[in-house]
A and B are shown apart, each in its own frame.
Chain A
Amino acid sequence: MRDLYNNSVEFVRTFGAFQLFSLRVIRYSPLVLLSRFDLVVKQIFNTGALSLVIIMVCGLFVGGVLGLQGYSNLARFNAEDSIGVFAAFGLIKELGPVITALLFAGRAGTSLASEIGLMKATDQLSAMEMMAVNPVPRVLVPRFLGGIIAMPLLVAVFSTIGLFGTHLVAVELLSVDVGAFWQQIQITVDMHDINEGIFKSFVFGVAASMIAVWEGYNAVPTAEGVGRATTRTVVITAIAVLVFDFMITALMI
């Protein structure tokens, strides 16, 4: 009973600390964006450009699977032409943002958390403090901003490549009419749907980057602690992304 109480208090404390930490990071963000954009660019490369290959490969296959599944189900109603709509809605509104965010957590989030954790474990953050350089704007904020900027772009790449994956399977493999495929998409998909996807990707970008940076910064400064921080990054990001996804979808419908 006493343990339960302590754990709950500890949980609330951690949650509160996370909010305060987020505020601190966000408060420095405009300044860093304006005065140290070179650092942000470097992080866009680290989180975005380096995640590109995995995003593209996964996008292609997810799109392909949607094509196969969609075909086998829609063909029963003679509605193969709607396969494009089926895939486009799935990719743009749900799978694009969610899978990209999960892949981002696995590829970029872990590398952020372990990088920052290692900087802490090897006293690099303390060394910065001692050189009168605040590590929050110098180390954390550029990584956070890099993640936020990279995520919507990654999502867009994922969804686009995914649609081409569906196109490949549906049109080239299963001979759905190419005109019907794209026309149906254009008729049904609305700017509103794309905005929903972009909004989601932005929210997921904030969540995934902030969690990675937080876990790295608060890692126990040992080899084991850094390892645990990377694991926690993936787990917590996955949960946060799916919960946020549910909430946003519920709000937008």
Chain B
Amino acid sequence: MKLLDESSENLIEIRDLKYSRGHRAIFEGLDLDIKRGEVTALMGPSGTGKTTLLRLITRQLVPQHGTIHIGGIDIATLNLAELYQLRQRFGMLFQNGALLTDLSVFENVAFPLREHTKLTNRLIRHVVLTKLHAVGLRGAADMMPSQLSGGMARRVALARAMVMDPDILIYDEPFVGLDPISMGVIVRLVRRMNDTLGITSIIVSHDVAEVSTVADCSFLISGGKVAASGSPDELRTANSELVRQFMHGMADGPVAFHYHAPDYEEQLLGRDAE
């Protein structure tokens, strides 16, 4: 696999991506580059298809138009075996951890090792405990996922995502629904994993404040395209109306407070029914 090919600066290149679900267009010609070894944030208002974009990058979905290259490979050309080989280089942290509910914490982290390697039980134990220690949950190894708090579940999922030593780590809304302490822990972990292990990280989030502390580069996606990009500081001082509205959380701006509706007065008077 040419994934570790160092020839280009960009690990992931997306060109002219179009994707629609039913009649609703979600992406209309999206271009996006993700640099090797950085923490890249994909931000945008709810419903702009950030999670869809992740699923496209990992080819859980296939775009109707456009290409996605990862490490120089067009992922649309891969067959299932090659795709699974590629995915072993990915680690993904789902919104709520997505731990397998019938397995213990230990077995959850061990799951990829058991499925893909023929390591001895002792070696698996060693690797799993190391990863759990890194997220501070070595003591929870024997617990079941249902006994964990939201923050702990996400840390376990992070340990699981790390266990195969991936090249790319993808975080889907890692900060949603966490208390400030857990959130701080996750933010620190994201940064530390990225810097110490030389991983490329992709974070999907609409949590502006948290993302700003951790991301090297942010993309603001709106209306099916990249509306703005740059470092968090650049985005915060940008001139665009949309960027200002999003970064500062204002109710009024290009993204209207009101969902598209018939005229208010007309509807109240019941004339729209005719």
In whole angstroms, what is the CA distance A148 to B90 when docked?
36
For residue A134, which residue of chain B has the nearest CB?
B84
Indicate if the CB atoms of A122 and B101 lie closer than 8 Å. Answer: yes
A177 within 8 A of B: no
Indicate if the CB atoms of B101 and A130 lie closer than 8 Å. Answer: no
Assuming the contacts A131-B111, A131-B112, A132-B116, asked whether A124 and B101 have C-beta atoms less than 8 A apart, the reply is yes
Interchain CB contact (< 8 A) of A130 among B80, B85, B90, B96: B90
Interfacial chain B residues near A129, Cβ < 8 Å: 58, 60, 87
Interface size on B, residues (CB 8 A): 25
Indicate if the CB atoms of A124 and B100 lie closer than 8 Å. Answer: yes
Interface size on A, residues (CB 8 A): 15
B115 within 8 A of A: yes
In whole angstroms, what is the CA distance A130 to B112 when docked?
10
For residue B55, which residue of chain A has the nearest CB?
A126
In whole angstroms, what is the CA distance A128 to B112 when docked?
9
A133 within 8 A of B: yes
A54 within 8 A of B: no
In whole angstroms, what is the CA distance A130 to B89 when docked?
10
Residue among A127, A130, A132, A138 facing the most chain B CB atoms (10 A cut-off): A130
In whole angstroms, what is the CA distance A122 to B60 when docked?
16
Interfacial chain B residues near A236, Cβ < 8 Å: none
Interfacial chain B residues near A132, Cβ < 8 Å: 84-85, 87-88, 112, 115-116
Assuming the contacts A122-B96, A123-B98, A124-B101, asked whether A130 and B84 have C-beta atoms less than 8 A apart, the reply is no
Interfacial chain B residues near A122, Cβ < 8 Å: 96, 98, 101
A26 within 8 A of B: no
A119 within 8 A of B: yes
Indicate if the CB atoms of A127 and B84 lie closer than 8 Å. Answer: no
Residue among B55, B88, B98, B157 facing the most chain A CB atoms (10 A cut-off): B98
In whole angstroms, what is the CA distance A248 to B9 when docked?
65
Indicate if the CB atoms of A126 and B94 lie closer than 8 Å. Answer: yes
In whole angstroms, what is the CA distance A122 to B145 when docked?
12
| Proximity string of chain A (124-162) to chain B, C-beta cutoff 8 Å, 1 when within and 0 when not | 101111111110001000000000000000000000000
In whole angstroms, what is the CA distance A124 to B92 when docked?
12
Question: Which residues 81-130 in A have Cβ within 8 Å of B in the complex?
Answer: 118-119, 122-124, 126-130
Interfacial chain B residues near A138, Cβ < 8 Å: 115
In whole angstroms, what is the CA distance A11 to B112 when docked?
38
Question: Which residues 159-215 in B have Cβ within 8 Å of A in the complex?
Answer: 160, 164
Indicate if the CB atoms of A124 and B58 lie closer than 8 Å. Answer: no
Residue among A118, A119, A126 facing the most chain B CB atoms (10 A cut-off): A126
Q: Chain B's nearest CB lies how many Å from the CB of A209?
A: 18
Indicate if the CB atoms of A131 and B87 lie closer than 8 Å. Answer: yes
Indicate if the CB atoms of A124 and B85 lie closer than 8 Å. Answer: no
Q: Chain A's nearest CB lies how many Å from the CB of B11?
A: 17
Interfacial chain A residues near B111, Cβ < 8 Å: 131, 133
Question: Which residues 73-116 in B have Cβ within 8 Å of A in the complex?
Answer: 80, 84-85, 87-88, 90-92, 94-96, 98-101, 111-112, 115-116
Interchain CB contact (< 8 A) of B87 among A118, A123, A124, A130: A130
Indicate if the CB atoms of A127 and B98 lie closer than 8 Å. Answer: yes
Indicate if the CB atoms of B96 and A126 lie closer than 8 Å. Answer: no
Question: Which residues 96-155 in B have Cβ within 8 Å of A in the complex?
Answer: 96, 98-101, 111-112, 115-116
Indicate if the CB atoms of B92 and A127 lie closer than 8 Å. Answer: yes
In whole angstroms, what is the CA distance A131 to B85 when docked?
10
Indicate if the CB atoms of A123 and B95 lie closer than 8 Å. Answer: yes
For residue A42, which residue of chain B has the nearest CB?
B102
For residue B116, which residue of chain A has the nearest CB?
A132
Indicate if the CB atoms of A127 and B94 lie closer than 8 Å. Answer: yes
Indicate if the CB atoms of B94 and A123 lie closer than 8 Å. Answer: yes
Indicate if the CB atoms of A123 and B96 lie closer than 8 Å. Answer: yes
Apart from A122-B96, A126-B55, 11 more pairs, CB < 8 Å = A119-B101, A122-B98, A124-B100, A127-B94, A129-B58, A130-B92, A131-B87, A131-B112, A132-B115, A133-B111, A134-B84
B contact set with A: CB distance below 8 Å: 55, 58, 60, 80, 84-85, 87-88, 90-92, 94-96, 98-101, 111-112, 115-116, 157, 160, 164
10 tightest Cβ-Cβ pairs between the two chains A and B: A123-B98, A127-B98, A132-B84, A132-B87, A130-B92, A123-B94, A132-B88, A131-B112, A133-B115, A124-B98
Pairs across A and B, CB under 8 Å, 5 listed: A124-B101, A126-B94, A127-B100, A129-B58, A131-B115
